[in-house]
Amino acid sequence: MKFFRLLSLPFLIALVAMPGESAPRADAPANPNKADKAKGVKTYEIPYKTTIPKHIVIRAKINGKGPFNFILDTGAPALFIATKVGDKAGLKGDAKKWSVIDRFEIEGGLVIEKARGRVETPFQLEGMNGMGLAGLEIHGLVGYDLLAKYRMEIDFTRDKMTWTELDYVPKLPAMKGGGGGGQGGLEMMGGLMKTFGALMGRTSTPAVSLRGFYGMALVDGDEFPKVTAVLDKGPAGLAGLKVGDILTKIDGRSVTNIADVLNRANKLSPGSSVKVTVKRDDKTTEITITPGEGI
């Protein structure tokens, strides 16, 4: 079977070559769909979001640190954790950069004990963050050897996907050397993209101001974006939004940072209404805003 690569831009190729034959992998389960019929099989509802170029992102904590943003990438052979994140989580890799994570906790209740991953920053990750392509900072890649243990059902009209455990343990990938990009010098591309991004004024988490559109300003918080300013006579102010409100959903879909809000805002036209769910004084309130002209 051919593996769909979520990192689909031409230069974001797989970290190592994956099989391209039409026949199934020799070590693949004969029929993974039967796994959910077995007694005691666990199912998880995993929150996700999509980046600006539509990569699927989940959040996870590493040994209690985080949460961090991870792209699901079946083209990556393993779990990759950016070096600075690995340092923050206290991970110590071996000579080939492999590390054992005591607790890899994916948002949605899935906890993986003693997960195995590589602590390094692949050129794909460095390039994406350097160019600000995702609209938020990406901290790692969740690759095939972890994803293959679950059957995933994704409905893009929902903000959660379903992961069902499979009775299947994929073979550990064979990695050459310690680097994540070593194919004909492609590891240099991440650095070049980072340089180009700086010249273009791009950052991994672009600053966003929505004063002209909603009449409010936001800042990223630990879990959700927070309102820092509201124009009294702007669309948000007239609808009842207040400084200090914490945005959790827009039209029923979770938002976890400013980029999520911007993505949603770009899909709206002036005059259309949007329902915003906010936390205020430990209470959840739903506010309907009719955006005006602007960005």
Q: 69: which strand partners?
A: 59
Residue 115 in any domain: the answer is yes
pLDDT in tens, 12-49: 323 333 333 334 444 444 444 454 544 578 999 999 99
Asked if residue 165 and residue 98 are part of one domain, the reply reads yes
The SS3 of residue 211 is coil
Asked if residue 220 and residue 193 are part of one domain, the reply reads no
Q: What is the pLDDT of residue 269?
A: 63
Nearest residue to 190 (alpha-carbon basis) of 120, 143, 135: 120
Asked if residue 139 and residue 268 are part of one domain, the reply reads no
Q: What is the CATH number of the domain that holds 284?
A: 2.30.42.10
Q: What is the pLDDT of residue 141?
A: 92
Q: Of 71-80, 99-108, 171-180, 265-274, which range is least confident? A: 171-180
- Structural domain that includes position 278: 216-289
Asked if residue 162 and residue 268 are part of one domain, the reply reads no
Residue 209 in any domain: the answer is no
| The overall pTM is greater than 0.85 | no
Residue 13 in any domain: the answer is no
pLDDT in tens, 201-250: 545 554 444 434 677 888 888 888 898 888 877 888 889 999 999 999 98
Residue 16 in any domain: the answer is no
Residue 3 in any domain: the answer is no
Return all residues near 6 (Cβ < 8 A) that are at least 6 apart: 55, 56, 71, 72, 73, 74, 75
Asked if residue 238 and residue 125 are part of one domain, the reply reads no
Asked if residue 227 and residue 93 are part of one domain, the reply reads no
Return all residues near 4 (Cβ < 8 A) that are at least 6 apart: 74, 75
Q: What is the pLDDT of residue 4?
A: 34
Q: Of 65-79, 210-224, 264-278, which range is least confident? A: 210-224
Asked if residue 138 and residue 39 are part of one domain, the reply reads yes
Q: Is the pLDDT of residue 151 over 80?
A: yes
Average pLDDT of the segment spanning 133-151: 87
Residue 7 in any domain: the answer is no
Asked if residue 148 and residue 87 are part of one domain, the reply reads yes
Total domains in the fold of the chain: 2
Residue 8 in any domain: the answer is no
Question: What are the strands, taking DSSP E only, across the chain?
Answer: 43-47, 49-50, 56-62, 65-72, 79-81, 98-106, 110-119, 140-142, 150-153, 160-165, 216-219, 226-230, 246-250, 253-254, 274-280, 283-289
Choose the final residue of a domain: 199, 224, 251.
Answer: 199
Asked if residue 238 and residue 195 are part of one domain, the reply reads no
